[in-house]
Amino acid sequence: MKAVFFDFVGTLITKEGENVTHQNIVREVLRKAGREDLDYVKLWEEYEAESSAMFKELAGKPYVKIRDVDTEAIRKVAERYGFTVPEDFWEISIVTHERYGQLFPDAVETINALKDLGLHVGIVTDSDNDYIEAHLKALGIYDLFDSITTSEDAGFYKPHEMPFRLALERAGVEASEALYVGDNPAKDCVGAKKVGMMSVLLDPNGGKRELWGDCDFVVSKLSEVVEIVKGLMGK
Ligand code: CA
C-alpha cells in the first residue's frame, strides 16, 4: 500500500455541516434578494432537490462547472418564487462553505497517521478547483495533502475512471497500491473498482447496507481506515 485517497463531502467533512452551509447560502440569497419573508428551510429543500437531480444526471459524465449547476438549481427555485439570484451567488457559496464546513472529528488524526506510515495522502473529488482549494484552506488542512485531484482537472465526474486514473498518475502509484475512501458506494466504490483500486466506505449509521457489496471495506469511523491500511501493509 502506497497511497490513500479521500472523497471530500460526506467523507472528510460532514453531511450535516454541508446541510447547514447550504441552508445559510439560501438564507443569504433571500436576504440579498429582499425576500426574507420566504421560508429558507423550505426553499433549501427545493434547492437540494433541484441540484441533486442535476448531479445525478451528471454522474460519470464529462465535467461541467459545479458553480453553473448550482447557480442553475437556485435560479429554478428563484423563478418559482419570483425573485432574482444575486450576481455574487458563487462568492456567497464559497464564503459560506468556508464558514460552516465541518470536518469529521477524527479526520486530521487519520490523515496524519497515514502520512506517518509513509503513504501518499490525496483527495479525489467531484469539485471545481476554486471551491476545493478555498474550502481546504479554510479548514486548515490544505497543506496536509500530497495531491488534490478534481473532476475539473480530470474532465469527468466520478464514477468515471478518469479522476481516479489522474490521481494515481500524480501520486506515481499503481491502482493495486492504492485505497480510496468515500461515502457514496455508486460513485466512490464503483469508480475505484473500475481502475482496480480497493475502496473503503464510510457509513457511520449503516444506512447504506444494501450497497456495501460494491465496497471492499466498510467503516463507521474514519480512524478505522488506519487499521485497514496497516493490515494491508502487513503491519
Ligand atoms: Ca461524498
In the sheet where 217-219 sits, what is the strand order? 147-150, 120-125, 3-6, 178-182, 198-202, 217-219
Predicted confidence at residue 235, as pLDDT, reads 85
Label residue 193 by pLDDT band (50, 70, 90).
Answer: very high
Q: Residue 157 above 90 pLDDT?
A: yes
Name the nearest CA neighbour of 222 among 15, 3, 6, 2.
6
Q: What is the pLDDT of residue 220?
A: 98
**Mean pLDDT of the region 23-42:** 97
In this structure, which amino acid lies at residue 28? Answer: E
Residue ranges and CATH numbers for the domains of the chain are 3-15+103-232 (3.40.50.1000), 16-100 (1.10.150.240)
* 18: CB partners within 8 A, 6+ apart: 9, 10, 101
Ligand 1 centre to CA of 187 (Å) is 8
Instruction: Report the separation in Å between the CA atom of 11 and the middle of ligand 1, taken as the mean of its atom positions.
Output: 6
CA of 118 to the centre of ligand 1 (A): 25
Ligand 1 centre from 143 Cα, in Å?
A: 21
Confidence of residue 10 (pLDDT cuts 50, 70, 90): very high
Tell me how many helices (H) and strands (E) the chain has.
10, 6
pTM of the prediction? 0.95
How many CB atoms are located within 10 Å of the residue 220 CB?
11
Ligand 1 centre to CA of 179 (Å) is 15
9 CA distance to ligand 1 centroid (A)? Answer: 4
